[in-house]
Structure 1
Amino acid sequence: MFCGDRSNSRRPGVTKSDEAVADPIAPVEERARTSGGRFEFLDALRGLAAVAVVIGHCAELVWPGYARFSAADFGAGQFGVFVFFLVSGFIIPASLERGRSLGAFWVGRFFRLFPLFWIALIAAMILHSVGRYSLPPAFTANFGWHLATNFTMAQFFLGTPDTQVLIPGWTLSYELVFYLFVSLLLIGGLNRRSVPLAVLALGSILFAGIGLPIAMVNGADANLITRLLVALATVAVAVFFARRAATRRSAITAVLLAAIAIPLVLNQPGPSGYSAVIFATMFVGTVLYRMTAGEITPKLGWRVFWLAVFVILGLKLLQLHPTVDPATGASVTWRKEAFTLIAAYLLFAAALQLRRHSFPRPLLFLGRISFSLYLIHPLILKAVPHWTVPFAGIPATWLTWSSWMIAAIALATLTYYAIEKPFHTLGHRMIAKMDAP
């Protein structure tokens, strides 16, 4: 079949609805160095991405000159975020396809993400109550509703960027919707059509940027027509995947997933073209996984990769009119996002080429605690005060930046071992019980 689909033959006892089991990620494990059951090159990328985000956020608050550079030339935080998106695109479909069931996949994702996310939200609320964590005015204007939407992790699609408690929360909203998409694709038997899906996503960027309104459900410009279009799109997607489902239960699941995913993604509050770039990036990551697993040829996989690079560069070159960043006053042109996003792609490609090699242990450790580091560091930036005077000849700005970095890594280490790891174990136990019958 197209895009390297394997034979439809199944192992004894594996039903059509369990086809994900028939293709574990063993071929990738044979082609990449692992440590403790984890791909070293992915952990190295996670570590670099998390550190880039924290370095960027810390530096932007300490040095106004760096904040202007970040806005106009190269955003370390945005760079790290797109590395994370490529990593998710690579590993999430693999995790889904090696799982015993769709339910087991979601149990694993829940225990991987939500416990720490909820604890971080609670910590932010506690710090806010003692005056050590500021909340945006838009959030406090409707406190109860926005707190509830933040706990869903889909807050970026349910409100506005100014209603988020945690700075990195918007990326997790995209991750969550991507999980919904790949789950739908699995139910519909289209999960291995990664090449046409990536090309379709890349081709949709320009259309989304020009013709797709933002916040079509509850935005300022939302109306009866936009909401009707959202409803029609939701019904169309639900019917399409329900008809392709192998069982009635899978069809019902497809309808529920579509009813959540489509209204969310069509209600995103930022530029529609940028959202399309994000989803295209994750699907490109999936293509690279298919290539690494031997499901498609390296030639085809790298062609899709370079197509994505040139599409991003070409679309940014079309952005001829500079804008002014309201926070720094810097002039923002096409080069900032082009350089930042392409750098993320190139780093991922370099790490993928080195996947058979070992990576430095400190970097792998940072990869293990990367989710904690990524999620927890905003608490440090707001709770730990600035240095106001130099110490031992070290400028106060460098003391502040260093203190934040050290405190963020230390707290992330603590939360990883005290919160993340125990909940990972609990999730694995629940999945094992689900698989036992």
Structure 2
Amino acid sequence: MTSSNEKNVMTRLPELDALRGLAAMSVVIFHSKNNLYPNASWWSWGYLCVDLFFIISGVVLTITYENRILTRETGFARFLRARFARMAPMHWAVLLATAGCYFYILDFSVHARAIFPWDATLYGFVLSALFLQGVGLIQHHTWNAIAWSISAEMIVNVLWFSLLRSGKSSTRVIAGIVAVSTVVLFEGWGKSHEYRIDTYYDVIYSFLSTGILRCIIGFCIGILIARHLINGSKIRDLGLLVANILSVSVIGAMTVLICYHDDPAFSAIDYVAIIFILPSLVISCLARRSLIHRILQLRVLMWLGTRSYSLYILHGLVILMTPFVLYWFGITRISSPWLGVIDIGAALVLSEITYRTIEMPFRSLFRGDLGKRSWMHSSQGSQKNHETARL
């Protein structure tokens, strides 16, 4: 059950939730861009928003749990239970839905193996169910390919807990981890792939998952932001002029990232983005007087933020199944951009449904407080609490 301290911390950072919602929508647009405008490169940078997720998670978990872990107020079992409560219900639901689509909705004997774009083995299913599909034990996508980042985050969360308990989690150590992980990723993957991060994970040096490295980099940057800029309100209370100079600078940097991502002259921009641009975006949104902070207070973005995890985890299956569903309804002649619009609209609608029927009720069940309040009270009363930076 979430403590009052945890809730108080969360309510101070609603803008991070809104930013997470924008990141989730950016990933959805990235994956459906061929259905919007085939062969267009205007959203080629969208996969970097996964790294933004990792940074935000590092910030939120640090301000929520770091002191409680260090003082042993929160043990490993309680921490792991909270993480499973946050990530497992929707992950498992979409995993089962993906399996159902493969074995029953698609014609297994004729079409499924040709159409289904990811590995569909029992081994991959078991790894996915255990959050282990993205750690390098399998070298290709399996079942719900989108969930590789969920696997990486779960593993990094466990490693972070262990590092805190070991007493070796100083700022110098965390910064060193960022530096080493970036160099390893750059040398092992970037040089042979035009210095791009890529849209998913791969295995380098025969055992290292690039997804784990990306998560380590982003999560540790989030730790540093939380420790040195949020604590003590150093960034929250920036003056109007400084806050908006920062906002304008970040908007300019994001514009360069969007417009010149595929330009050979900016070949290493992915690394610049995850080390400088995306962290600066997070910092800017936390400054109360900044333009970006004010934009993120819009109610539609708050709504999007609360549904961001459901939207992210299910959108891959939605994009895969949309043509089949349209075909069943007799709609056979639909092309871009309308197919992409339907993809996005369906993902948003389903994210609202699954948020209310799966994510919130089962999160409460995992935390052991479902019996203390009805589902209706949970979905209504939690609206205010969860339109914030969630775990």
Maintained 8 Å contact 2:311/2:347: yes
Alignment of 1:361-376 (within 5 A): 361-376=299-314
Which residue in 1 is equivalent to 2:267? 334
Which of 91, 99, 107 is matched with 1:117 structurally? 91
Which of 20, 26, 46 is matched with 1:52 structurally? 26
Which of 58, 61, 70 is matched with 1:92 structurally? 61
Which residue in 1 is equivalent to 2:142? 164
Q: 1:384 to 1:201 in 2, by over 3 A?
A: same
Which residue in 1 is equivalent to 2:356? 417
In 1, the alpha carbon distance for the partners of 2:87 and 2:209 equals 23
Q: Deviations over 1:255-283 (max 9, x none)?
A: xxxxxxxxxxxx3344xxx7545412211
Measure how far apart 1:80 and its partner are: 1.7
Please state whether the residue corresponding to 1:205 is helix, strand or coil.
helix
Please state whether the residue corresponding to 2:143 is helix, strand or coil.
coil
Measure how far apart 1:397 and its partner are: 0.9
Q: Deviations over 1:86-118 (max 9, x none)?
A: 101101223323474222111111111112111
Q: 1:296 to 1:44 in 2, by over 3 A?
A: closer
Please state whether the residue corresponding to 2:98 is helix, strand or coil.
helix
Deviating above 4 A after TM superposition, structure 1's stretches of 4 or more consecutive aligned residues are 219-222, 295-298, 330-333, 355-358, 430-433
Matched to 1:353, the amino acid is A
Bigger mean CA offset, 331-340 vs 345-354 = 331-340
Say yes or no: does 1:347 pair with 2:281. yes
Matched to 1:334, the amino acid is S
Which residue in 1 is equivalent to 2:16? 42
Which of 225, 228, 238 is matched with 1:291 structurally? 228
Q: 1:354 to 1:199 in 2, by over 3 A?
A: farther
Please state whether the residue corresponding to 1:283 is helix, strand or coil.
helix
Q: Deviations over 1:228-251 (max 9, x none)?
A: xxxxxxxxxxxxxxxxxxxxxxxx
In 2, the alpha carbon distance for the partners of 1:61 and 1:90 equals 34
In 2, the alpha carbon distance for the partners of 1:423 and 1:430 equals 10
Q: 1:183 to 1:377 in 2, by over 3 A?
A: same
In 2, the alpha carbon distance for the partners of 1:69 and 1:165 equals 28
Measure how far apart 1:128 and its partner are: 1.1
In 2, the alpha carbon distance for the partners of 1:95 and 1:279 equals 18
Alignment of 1:121-132 (within 5 A): 121-129=95-103, 130-131=105-106
Alignment of 1:6-405 (within 5 A): 29=9, 37=11, 39-66=13-40, 68-70=41-43, 74-76=44-46, 78-97=47-66, 98=68, 100-102=73-75, 103-129=77-103, 130-131=105-106, 134-136=115-117, 139-140=119-120, 143-191=121-169, 193-207=170-184, 209-210=186-187, 267-270=207-210, 275-294=212-231, 334-338=267-271, 340-341=273-274, 342-354=276-288, 359-385=297-323, 396-405=335-344
Which fold has the larger relative contact order, with Cα–Cα distance below 8 Å and residues 6 or more apart in sequence? 2
* % same residue: 22
In 2, the alpha carbon distance for the partners of 1:39 and 1:353 equals 10
Measure how far apart 1:340 and its partner are: 4.9
Please state whether the residue corresponding to 1:156 is helix, strand or coil.
coil
Please state whether the residue corresponding to 2:160 is helix, strand or coil.
helix
RMSD: 3.9
Structure 2 length-normalised TM: 0.68
Bigger mean CA offset, 98-107 vs 348-357 = 348-357
Measure how far apart 1:345 and its partner are: 2.8
Please state whether the residue corresponding to 2:131 is helix, strand or coil.
coil
Maintained 8 Å contact 2:124/2:138: no
In 1, the alpha carbon distance for the partners of 2:37 and 2:265 equals 18
Q: 1:111 to 1:275 in 2, by over 3 A?
A: closer
Matched to 2:221, the amino acid is V
Matched to 1:49, the amino acid is A
Q: 1:360 to 1:291 in 2, by over 3 A?
A: same
Q: 1:294 to 1:202 in 2, by over 3 A?
A: same
Structure 1 length-normalised TM: 0.61
Maintained 8 Å contact 2:83/2:154: no
In 2, the alpha carbon distance for the partners of 1:69 and 1:159 equals 34
Structure 2: unaligned runs, 5 residues or longer: 190-202, 236-245, 247-252, 254-261, 328-333, 373-391
Q: Deviations over 1:112-132 (max 9, x none)?
A: 111211110110011112218
Maintained 8 Å contact 2:21/2:304: yes
Maintained 8 Å contact 1:146/1:159: no
Structure 1: unaligned runs, 5 residues or longer: 1-20, 213-218, 223-266, 299-305, 307-312, 314-324, 389-394
